[in-house]
Amino acid sequence: MDPLYIIKVGGNIIDDDQKLKSFLTEFAKIQGKKILVHGGGKLATKLAQDLSIQQHMVDGRRITDAETLKIVTMVYAGLINKQMVAQLNALGSTSIGICGADANTIVAHKREHPSIDFGFVGDVDKVNTSMLLTLLNENINIVIAPITQDANGQLLNTNADTIAQEIAKAMSKNMDTTLVYSFEKKGVMRDVNDETSVISKIDKEAFTKLKEENAIFAGMIPKLDNAFTAISAGVSRVIIGDAIELSMLIKGESGTTIH
pLDDT, one tens digit per residue, over 41-87 is 788 888 888 988 888 887 767 789 999 999 999 999 999 999 999 99
3-state secondary structure string across 162-185: HHHHHHHHHHCCCCEEEEEEEECC
Domain extent, residue 67, equals: 3-258
* Global confidence as pTM: 0.94
User: Which amino acid type is present at position 14?
Assistant: I
Q: What is the pLDDT of residue 55?
A: 84
DSSP 121: B
Q: Say how many domains are in the chain.
A: 1
Higher pLDDT, 251 or 4: 4
How far apart, in Å, are the Cα atoms of 92 and each of 88, 105, 251? 7, 25, 22
93: helix, strand or coil:
coil
Give the dihedral of Cα atoms 119, 124, 129, 132; nearest 10 deg. 40
Domain with 84 in it: what CATH number? 3.40.1160.10
At 3 the three-state DSSP class reads: strand
Q: Are 58 and 121 in contact (CB under 8 A)?
A: no
Distance between CA 174 and CA 183 in Å, rounded? 27
- Mean pLDDT over 104-117 rounds to 94
pLDDT of residue 24: 98
